[in-house]
Structure formats: C-alpha cells, structure tokens
A and B are shown apart, each in its own frame.
Chain A
Amino acid sequence: MWINMGPQHPMTHGLWNLRVRIEGEIIEEVDPEMGYLHRGIEKISEDRHYNEVITLMDRTCYVAGMSWEHLYIIAAEQALHLEPPERAQFIRTLADELQRIASHLMWYAAFVQDLGLMTPFLYGMRDRDLILDLFQSFTGARMTYEYNRAGGVRNDLPNGFTDRARKVMDWLDARFVEYDQLCLDSDIFHRRCDGLGVLSARDCIDWGVTGPMLRSAGIKRDLRKDRPYAAYDRVEFDVAVADGADVTARYLVRMEEMRQAVRIVRQTLDWLDKHPGPVLAERLPRWLGAPYAPVGREGYLLKRNYPTGRGFSSVEEPHGEAQAYVVNTGGEHPYRVKFRSPVFVNIAAAQKYLPGYRVADIPPIMGSVDVCVGEVDR
C-alpha cells in the first residue's frame, strides 16, 4: 500500500510529500516528492543586485537565514574580489553560531514533538526566542535578517549587546542539562530512538550526506575545522561526534554542537569587546553599496568597470554542509547562482535509511534529519 505522507502532514515540518510503500507496518520503499515550496530562488537571483540576493537567502532556509546569508556572501565576495574587515568576520562567526543554536533548538522542539513529547517542545521554542531577541537587537529582524553585505555586515553590534548575549548563553548552558534530562533519562525515548534510521558511514559518504547525520556515524568532519572560513580558525571548539549513526546519536551530536556553539559565541564576544573597528569594507563600488539605487540604462551601466569572476563557498550550516557557486560575468547581477542544500541530499538518501523500519518510526527518523523544506526546494 502506498501512503502519501504529505504534503499536508504533521511529520513533514514543511511542504513535501514522502510517498511510502508499506507492507503491514514495515516500510518497503520510499519516494520523496519535493518541489511544493519551490520559489526559483536561483532564477530570481539572476535578476537581482548582489546585495538583493541576501533577502532571498533569509527565505531559503527560514530557520537558518544567517548561515545562508553567510554562505552566499562568501561566494559573492570571492566573485566580486572583496575582502571583509576582521571585525565583520567575527560578527559573522557570532551570528552563525547564534543561528546554529536557534536552528538546533527549533530542531529539538520539532523532534520531540514528533515523539509525542509536548513539554520540551515549548522549552525549545522558549529558549529559541531568546536567541531571536538577540538577533532582533542587532539586525532588527527575528527571522529575515538581511544583515550580511558584500564586503562586511550592515551595522555594528549595539551597545550592551555582548553582556546581554553572555547572559543568554549562561541561561542556555543550564537549560541544555534540562533538555537531556527530559530525553535521555527517559526509557521510552531510548526505546523509540536507539538503533533507528541507521545510515552507515560508508553510505553517508556515498550519498553525500553531511552535517550532524555524518558526524553521528563517527566521522569527524566539520568544515569549520577542516576548511575554516570567517573567524573559525581563531576560536576554540571541539567537533561533536557520536557513534551509532542512529537517531539517538544525531540527538547527541546536535546537543553537543549547541554546547560548542555557546563556547564559540563566548569567545567571539570576548574578541569583539576588545577589538572595535569598521564592519564594512571601505571603498565599496557605489553600485554595490546602495542596494535599492535606481538602475540606469544598460548602455550607461556597461561603461562601468565591473569585475568578473567565479565564487565558490562552503559553510557548515546547522543542517550540514552547504555550498554556493556564484558566476559573475561583469554587471550588477550575478549570471548564475547555484546552491547546494545539505537537507536536499539528506532527504535524497531517505531510500537508504528508511526502508525496513516501521511507519511509526518515520517521524523520529525524519525528525532527526532536521528537514527544512525551504532550502531543499529553494
């Protein structure tokens, strides 16, 4: 029997359709059907200024907008031959890690909800709100920040931000213990999650699976360590790894990542306190600096001295490794923008890790994948 789990289904956390062929309660075959949220972001980007694409990046993954902005902006800066100032790099690192915590808290809330746990769902959302408050205080927005700019970030942190952020980090540190108590101390949690959705290290690599799913299989790979970008080579942290490659292992990896993210945030806050400076590169081209400046006639624009180039970037997004490829053929708009979403690949591998389990196991397994449909469909 084929079951359509989606596009309107509580398990999907978004808008997609997991078609499942079941025999009794056992899953025989899966066929994920994507595209319900396809907005053509890659196409729209071709008609936009470099800085205007950032707006789309916030909407690509609506729970990890900052990471996607960062991903795009690295590639765009490479394509435009721009270099952001040091302080902007640290602010980006800080924003990335705050976003990682917020995204993982969102994942935690949704994941425990899939297991039927109501209480931690609200705890997760409550604490995520604190991070969003921080975001609001320095970007002005809670979800769609539009904070990064080609050549730096839009504005500096407000006064007193670092102290407030430290308080939130202290609060979070105490809450992580509570989260673990609610889940790991529960026998039912282990009965539901242990040995579920196993995707071996070899399969992970063959299918291109990255992020917490890969690290839960025991592979110590984190782009922040292996291929540092922004200021990640100047902060100390450990890569979260777990064994087992199952749902519990992914839970452990994400929890540890949140703890490490708190650690990184503290270090960046200390650095930012000591090193004031510009956050946006000087001497930005004028056509780049004003994102909503009127566009002149094409003939006029062609006289300008536009740089050309290609940009490739890869960041460790909360869901996994995301890549961006920006082709700049000279002009105010990118010629082609291509994004690789980690969730896209992680869902593509569903045919490896879902069959053989029960229908009732689908929500925890897909929950542990941390699906964000916005970045799958783009």
Chain B
Amino acid sequence: MSGATLYSVSAALSALLLGAVASILPAPVNAWLTSPDVVTGLAVLIFSAILLAASMINTIMLIWFERKMLGRFMDRRGAMHVGYAGLLQNFADGLKLFRKNTFRPREADSLGFYAGPTAYMVTSMILFGVLPISTGWSSGALPLSLLLALAIFSFAPLFIFVSAWSSNNKYSLIGGMRSAAQMIAYEVPILLAVVAVVIVAGSFDLNVIVNEQQNYWFWAPLIVALIVFVAGMLAEMERIPFDLPEAEAELVEGWNTEYGGMLFAFFMLADYVRALIGSILVVLLFLGGWTMPSWVPSVATSFPLAGIFWFMIKTYLVFGLFIWIRASLPRVRTDQLLRVGWNRMIPLALLSIVLAAVVVTVRCLPLVGCVPPLGG
C-alpha cells in the first residue's frame, strides 16, 4: 500500500467538501458535518461513485472491444461511425435503450419481472467493490474477499430464473431453467478450482493471493485449475459455446425474450459486467493481478498507475480470449454441456486440487521455481 489510494483520495475530497459546506452553516450542524462518521460516510459514497463510473465505462469499452475484435475475426470492421472508430457507438446504443418504453406483458408477474433484472444488475455491480484492481484500489482488505466475490457471483441464476418465470413465456422459462441448471453445474468446478489456488496461496484474501504471485504467476503450476476455471467462467458468463440459456436459434432470446428497453439493457450490461468480472478473476487468481514478472524492466512497472495499467491490459487480453472462442466455436447442447460439467470438469478440478497439494508439498518445480512457505 503505497502512495494515494482511491479511498484516501475520496476521503480527502469528502473532508474538503464537508469542510467547505460546514464553514457557511451554523454551529450545531457544522460540528456534526465535520464529525468523522459523516466524513467517512461521504467518502464511501464518493468512492463508490468513482468505482461505479470507472467500472461502467470499462464495461462499455469491453463491449466496444468485443464488437471491434469480432468484426476483425469476421472480416468486417465493426462499429465505425459514432465517435472515433465507433468508440461512442455503445453509448449511443445505451441511450437508445434508455429512451425506449419499458413494457411488460399483461400476464407477466409484475414484481418478479421488474425485480429480476434489477437485482441481477445490482449483484453484478456489487462485485466491483469486492475485487481489488490494484494496490490500494479496493474498498478494503477483506480476509475472505474471494469467497465473498464468488458468493455474490453465484446469485445470478436465482434472479435469472425469477425474471424468466415471471415473464410467463415458454421460451423464457426454458431459458431460465437451462440457465439455472448450467450455472449451478459449473459453480462446483469453479469453486473446486479456486480451492487449488487457495491451497497454494494460503489465503482467501485476493490481495494476498496476488501478492503471493510476485515471484511466479499461478497459471503455470495450476494449469489444470486454470482450464477448469476458464471453462467454468465461460459457462457462468453464458457466452458461446455455452450460451444455451439464450440460444438464439431455438429459444429466441432465452430468458430475456420478453424484455425490452432499459430492462433489456440491464441484462446486457450485467452480462458484460459479469464477463469483465470473470476476466478480472482469471487475472487475479492465475495471472498475477497487477504484478509483473521481475524480468520486465522497471520503467514499465514504476510509472504512476502502472498496476492498474497492467491489470487492465491483462484483463482485456483474457477477455480477448473469450471473444476468440466466441468467434470460432459453435454452441453445444444442454445435455452435452451438463455432462461435460459434471463428468469432466469436476474430476479435473479435483485433480487440480491434488496438483496444488503436490505443489505446496514439493515447493520447487522445474521451470516454475520455488513456492514460498505456506501463509507467506
């Protein structure tokens, strides 16, 4: 933790703002305004607002990135006209969705129909507060932040199922059920793969996990866990080849068939938020987070915000891999997906735990180097 952190910046901003407001207000109010509780409260709000804005912009840029990259794969150019190289196209699309009428089928259940997408969006956004993006750029050092992140991540099938059911549409219902089955099936291998990381890192704290990777990144000793984790994340994100819940060809649009306007935008945005979170988790757990290997010249790692810079580069590269997969693979079938999940992924994940135990016991591996002692 060195230099200004995001929180210290927002705390200073909060104190400054409250001080300025307090100076023109009468006595009892200004004393309360400058009290530490209020300053901290506003600081948290400012912190969240900055985080929200940053993550939203990142998410939207992620969509731009995907559109451009898919375009290149498909021998076309992607968005070109709004902004430079179509940079603002997604903002225009978002604005269009925002202006659209939000409607609900008559037979749909009102509460579930509106609450589903909102809760899906909110739970996805909360994750940004949990994940550290660089040293000092997180809301705090939670000892169990990895567990918390995965717990929040796995809320999604519930909300998808609720909104699918309340849509009162057969396609939505089938899509929702598929989604729930798929996410639950892949939750297990993901968690088991994470256990392998935790065994090697010796902590559930993402900051610690990243710091453990100062010497070597975890992908090399835990390659099996990485494969399981990436495959599971593809399923959790519902991206091709695992996008069956919204399999366009047979289920129209899956669980969001009945949604339009802003509610649909919520789903789309939350999907990309989850894609971003998935990429971030891969980077944090396996690719060293914001750290860089020691052979990288210090010029490249010591400039201001270098941690965030390298972190985002890695995240976008991981997401680029997902785009590449999307551009080149067809969709699998539900039963095949579930069979792969239960019959292949879980044994592989268990194997990765064994490998992690071996890594920790043996300490030194050829090519990888030596693992620091547990709890380091």
Q: List chain A positions with a Cβ less than 8 A from chain B.
A: 1, 3, 5, 9-11, 25, 112-119, 121-123, 126, 182-183, 186, 188-189, 191-192, 358-363, 367
Which residue of chain B is the closest to A182 with respect to CB atoms?
A: B328
Question: Closest chain A residue to B171 by CB distance?
Answer: A3
**A-chain residues with CB within 8 Å of residue B174 when the two chains form the complex:** 359
Contact call A186/B329, Cβ cutoff below 8 A: yes
A-B contacts, CB under 8 A, total: 80
**B binding-site residues for A, Cβ under 8 Å:** 70, 73-76, 170-171, 174, 240-241, 243-244, 247-250, 252, 326-336
The CB with the most chain B CB atoms within 10 A, among A183, A192, A360, is that of A360
A325 to chain B, nearest CB (A): 36
> Could you tell me if A118 and B327 are in contact, using CB atoms closer than 8 angstroms?
yes
CA distance A317 to B279 in the complex (A): 49
B173 to chain A, nearest CB (A): 10
CA A35 – CA B187 in complex, angstroms?
46
Tell me, in angstroms, the Cα distance from A115 to B332 when the chains sit together.
8
Q: Which residues of B contact A25 (CB under 8 A)?
A: 334-335
B336 touches A113 (CB 8 A): no
**Known interface pairs A123-B74, A360-B247; A10-B252 also in contact (CB < 8 Å):** yes
Q: Which residue of A lies closest to B253 (CB)?
A: A10
Q: Are A363 and B250 in contact (CB under 8 A)?
A: yes
Q: How far is the CA of A145 from the CA of B90 in the complex (A)?
A: 39
**How far, in angstroms, from A123 to B327 measured CA to CA in the complex?**
12
A119-B74, A123-B74 known; A113 vs B249 contact (CB < 8 Å): yes
- Can you show 30 pairs from A to B with CB atoms below 8 A apart? A3-B170, A3-B171, A10-B248, A10-B252, A25-B335, A115-B330, A116-B247, A116-B248, A116-B331, A117-B331, A118-B240, A118-B326, A119-B327, A119-B328, A122-B74, A122-B75, A123-B74, A126-B75, A183-B330, A186-B329, A188-B329, A188-B331, A191-B333, A191-B336, A192-B330, A192-B333, A360-B250, A360-B334, A363-B249, A367-B249
Query: In the assembly, what is the distance between CA of A192 and CA of B333, in Å?
Result: 7
Q: Which residues of the other chain, B, contact A119 by a CB distance below 8 angstroms?
A: 73-74, 327-328
- Report how far A118 CA is from B240 CA in the complex, Å: 10
- For B244, the closest partner residue in chain A by CB is A360
Q: A186-B330, A360-B333 are in contact. List 11 more A-B contacts (CB 8 A).
A: A10-B249, A116-B249, A117-B330, A117-B331, A118-B240, A188-B329, A188-B332, A192-B331, A192-B332, A358-B333, A359-B250
Residues of B within 8 A of A362 (CB): 250
Shortest CB–CB separation between residue B45 and chain A, in angstroms?
41
Which residues of A sit under 8 angstroms from B241, Cβ to Cβ?
116, 188
User: Chain A contacts of B248 at CB under 8 A?
Assistant: 10, 116
* Minimum Cβ distance to chain A for residue B108 (Å): 18
Closest residue to B242 on the A side, CB-wise?
Answer: A116
Which of B74, B244, B336: most chain A CB closer than 10 A?
Answer: B74
A322 CB, nearest partner CB in chain B, Å:
27
Chain A residues, CB < 8 A from B335 = 25, 358
Expressed in whole angstroms, the minimum distance between the Cβ of B258 and any Cβ of chain A is 13
**Residue among B170, B250, B335 facing the most chain A CB atoms (10 A cut-off):** B250
Distance in angstroms between the alpha carbons of A117 and B74 in the assembled complex? 11
State A189–B336 Cα separation when bound (angstroms).
Answer: 12
Contact A112 B330 (CB under 8 A): yes
Chain A min CB distance to B133 (Å): 31
Question: What's the Cα separation between A9 and B74 when bound, in Å?
Answer: 24
Q: How many Å lie between the Cα of A297 and that of B54 in the bound state? A: 78
Q: Tell me if A188 and B75 are in contact (CB < 8 A).
A: no
Q: Is the CB of B74 within 8 A of A115?
A: no
> Do A11 and B74 contact each other (CB < 8 Å), given the known contacts A1-B170, A3-B170, A189-B330?
no
Instruction: Report chain A residues within 8 Å CB of B250.
Output: 5, 11, 359-360, 362-363
CA distance A123 to B174 in the complex (A): 31
Task: Give complex CA distance A182, B332 in Å.
Answer: 15
**Cross-chain contact B331 with A115 (CB below 8 angstroms):** yes
Query: With A1-B170, A123-B75, A182-B328 in contact, do A116 and B240 touch (Cβ < 8 Å)?
Result: yes
- Taken together as a complex, chains A and B put the C-alpha atoms of A270 and B134 apart, in Å, by 67
**Contact partners of B252 in chain A: CB under 8 A:** 9-10
Tell me the bound Cα distance from A10 to B170 in angstroms: 15
Nearest-neighbour CB distance to chain B for A16, whole angstroms, equals 15
A107 to chain B, nearest CB (A): 14
Give the interface centre of B70, B241, B244, B249 by most chain A CB atoms within 10 Å. Answer: B249
Are the C-beta atoms of A114 and B74 separated by less than 8 Å?
A: no
Q: Which partner residue on chain B sits nearest A360 by CB separation? A: B333
CA distance A1 to B241 in the complex (A): 27
Distance A3 CA – B332 CA, assembled complex (angstroms): 22
Q: Which residue of B lies closest to A4 (CB)?
A: B170
